Amino acid sequence: MLVSTKWLSEYVNTQGLDPKDLGEKITRAGIEVDAVIDRSHGMTNVVVGYVKEKVKHPEADKLNICQVDVGEETTQIICGAPNVDAGQKVIVARPGAVLPGGMKIKKAKLRGEESNGMICSLQELGIEGRLVPKAYADGIYVLPETAVPGESVLPLLGLDDIVLELGLTPNRSDALSMLGVAYEVGAILSEDMKYPEVNYTESDEKATDYLNLKVDAIEENPMYIAKVVKNIQVKESPLWLQHRLMAAGVRPHNNVVDITNYVLMEYGQPLHAFDYDRLETKEIIVRLAEEGEKIVTLDDQERTLKSNHLVITNGKEPVAIAGVMGGANSEVHDGTTTVVIESAYFVGGSVRQTSKDHNLRSDASARFEKGVDPNRVILAAERAASLLAELAGGEVLAGTVMVDELDKTPAEVVVSPDFINNRLGMKISLEDMTSILSRLKFDYQAANGLLYIKAPTRRQDIKIEEDIIEEIARMYGYDEIPMTLPVEESKPGGLSSYQAKRRQVRAYLEGAGLYQAITYSLTSKEMSQKFALETAPVTELLMPMSEDRSILRQSLIPHLLEAVTYNTARQADTVALYEVGSVFLGETESGLPHEQEHLAAVISGKWLDHSWQGEKKAVDFFVLKGIVEGLMDLLGHSSELTFERSVVDGLHPGRTASIKLAGEEIGVIAQLHPSEQKARDLKETYVMELNLAKVLDKEVEALYYAPVSKFPSITRDIALVVDSEKATGELQAIIQLSGGRLLKNVHLFDLYEGEKMEPGKKSVAFSLTYFDPERTLTDEEVVNAHNKVLKALAEQAGAELRG
């Protein structure tokens, strides 16, 4: 809502406040002033000129040489506008003027001819093109003949004005009118209101003799009134009305249309003017449209109606879509002499649906949607009639054509002052409260320790006690609310064990060199299940904005890979990222998908790079595996952790393992399939994804310390020759199982496959540590235990002892 402060001051005394200060007061009281716009843009030296003479420029077809009387002198100005002509009063920017676009006007020569200034269009004075009257849209603006050469044009065009741009929240539709804003400002400044004048003489003829009215859809249209005005003359509106409309963001058309728009802005009540003669039938019937019925609207579009769209008809065919847009067939035109002014209460939901179906939003539909003030329907029509009499020479027929079944009872709220103070944590006196209610022009009675309040119908947002609390508080001032903290039984806050562990997981991964990424949950059909640990029916949007963001993901890996590709393409030589986020699987009983929190990591490029010492190492499977092992150790699950070769689409078939905890699959780790790497222009890239929720929800044993022993441990190494395919993990498991109570640690320290070995064989060396916390082990005990290990290795894995 754009509010001209000059216009506003006709209804309420703004106490000479600087508009910026006024804006600040309005903001602090609850309606945010988004901008304070100086319509003059600081312009000076822009005056009325009189074009005494116009001749063609000898050197340029499109230029005219004009002799212009600017008051103190007559001066030559070159003008390129097609509509400039001798005898016009025009806007002249004199040398020294600075126009809103920043253009500085100087004396100049155009193709050899002197030009002392510029004849301006309204656009050049900072008025948006869409607001300039059509007649002047493509050229200079022509002022009325009464304009006096040499005088500033700013007051003439209403540009000596400051406009407040209000950012209205949906509850404050009452401020979608100048009067509504005036009520608000009056309440803030404790000022009374002045109401617009309604003053006309009724003709002897009766409106009801001219027009029959019937409403066949009372639910959608509980109130419809019409005034009939005859003998009007359609012409340009007076300048003051035009510039007020432009200040409010409305384009002037002709006096009849301008008056309906002016009253719309003034009262917040949309009006519509029909050409009485073009209605043809002397009848208005409001009804729901027939399915498929057609109407050509004012914008010359043919629109097909649905059976829930409300239409105004002449009894035969639609002449307007109610509350949304008029029809072309009944439009007021230059030759119109009699008009029907419609003022109605159309129900918000109906207008919202219709305007949405036709993708037509207008100043009118916006107001109906939010609900207009039932008590202004008649007032606005009367005001329009009065203006038509005054500005269009109209003769207002006696009476009003009316159907009215609208409930206009104000909302009643009963609230106790104590309740108000308790909720606010304040001690506002009853006198202060009632004074605020008076300023707001709310009817109230204080009795029995309670306030009985009747909210005016223009404030449809006031319904319950809390609404009154807000009114009192905002007018009293939010700055006056003290600062306290909740008084309650004190309880410690904190993270759940899951949340605490998740934070530790992040810290660990970051310590290991990975950056946390956050990617989008929505993805394409193609990517939604790619690399997924587990697939289930996908969750798809009804109306996606694009195919790339149409389905919820079932794996975090695709978007992490996108990030790796993005970084690699920008010369990052190492990319190590992880993400913790949800994947969305199938459907639970509640109808929602099963949301599972996952952890994924991707590494690519160099892992070690200490170049001046010559150390370089690309990432490999075991870098990422080490990170996973460390993570499971951190979470207390390392003893249950195993890795098993597996196959997943899109991952390297020989370098993929499923990650298992106590035999249960909880994740996957792999090299990206070389063809996938190639497609993304990546070097060797390793990925991992875990069902984090499952891991974090797993129970962990309590942490107890094992005494640090005084007794030494004994280490024995074994080197084995086994078949190449034999997994070292299997050998390690045999050792661990057969080593008995004394074997405390097994660790692989050498692995050799190559020329020196018999084909199909490899050499593996383990270091075994034996230990008893209670005493020093004897040689014999160690030899016994060790022999059992060797025997088991030979029997179960066909291992030969080497060397």
Nearest residue to 238 (alpha-carbon basis) of 133, 363, 127: 133
CB-nearer residue toward other proteins: 414 or 592: 592
Say how far apart CA 445 and CA 250 lie, in whole Å: 42
CB-nearer residue toward other proteins: 334 or 479: 479
Contact 166, 180 (CB under 8 A): no
Minimal distance, residue 527 CB to other proteins, in Å: 15
Minimal distance, residue 42 CB to other proteins, in Å: 17
Minimal distance, residue 6 CB to other proteins, in Å: 25
CB-nearer residue toward other proteins: 613 or 675: 613
Say how far apart CA 392 and CA 411 lie, in whole Å: 39
Q: Are strands 46-57 and 685-690 parallel, antiparallel or unpaired?
A: unpaired
Minimal distance, residue 363 CB to other proteins, in Å: 16
Contact 372, 246 (CB under 8 A): no
Residue 335 burial (10 A CB sphere; 0-12, 13-18, 19+): exposed
Minimal distance, residue 607 CB to other proteins, in Å: 8
> Tokens in use for 314?
């002449």
- Residue 199: count of CB within 10 angstroms of its CB: 11
Phi, psi for residue 193 in degrees, rounded to 5:
-100, 150
Angle made by CA atoms 291, 374, 317, in degrees to the nearest 5: 25
> Tokens in use for 495?
């993270």
Minimal distance, residue 467 CB to other proteins, in Å: 6
CB-nearer residue toward other proteins: 612 or 705: 612
Block residue for tokens 């797993």:
698
CB-nearer residue toward other proteins: 102 or 493: 493
C-alpha to C-alpha distances, 395 to 102, 142, 197, 228, 299, nearest whole angstrom: 48, 30, 17, 9, 29
First CA to last CA across the chain, in angstroms?
A: 92
Minimal distance, residue 302 CB to other proteins, in Å: 25
CB-nearer residue toward other proteins: 349 or 393: 349
> Tokens in use for 43?
């312009």
Beta bridge partners of 581: 598
Minimal distance, residue 491 CB to other proteins, in Å: 6
Contacts of 439 (CB under 8 A, 6+ apart): 186, 187, 188, 190, 475
Minimal distance, residue 200 CB to other proteins, in Å: 38
CB-nearer residue toward other proteins: 102 or 591: 591
Contacts of 613 (CB under 8 A, 6+ apart): none
Minimal distance, residue 737 CB to other proteins, in Å: 38
Q: In one letter, which amino acid is 329?
A: N
CB-nearer residue toward other proteins: 76 or 574: 574
Say how far apart CA 370 and CA 1 lie, in whole Å: 14
CB-nearer residue toward other proteins: 33 or 388: 33
CB-nearer residue toward other proteins: 681 or 758: 681
C-alpha to C-alpha distances, 679 to 155, 683, 737, nearest whole angstrom: 68, 11, 45
Minimal distance, residue 703 CB to other proteins, in Å: 23
Query: From start to end of 180-279, where are the E strands?
Result: 202-206, 212-215, 223-230, 271-275
CB-nearer residue toward other proteins: 238 or 544: 544
Minimal distance, residue 360 CB to other proteins, in Å: 15
CB-nearer residue toward other proteins: 622 or 711: 622
Say how far apart CA 561 and CA 517 lie, in whole Å: 11
Minimal distance, residue 439 CB to other proteins, in Å: 15
Minimal distance, residue 167 CB to other proteins, in Å: 10
Block residue for tokens 């991964």:
509
CB-nearer residue toward other proteins: 423 or 726: 423
Largest CA distance in the chain: 132
Block residue for tokens 């009189």:
50
CB-nearer residue toward other proteins: 444 or 584: 584
Nearest residue to 456 (alpha-carbon basis) of 405, 420, 406, 412: 412
Nearest residue to 282 (alpha-carbon basis) of 401, 138, 408: 401
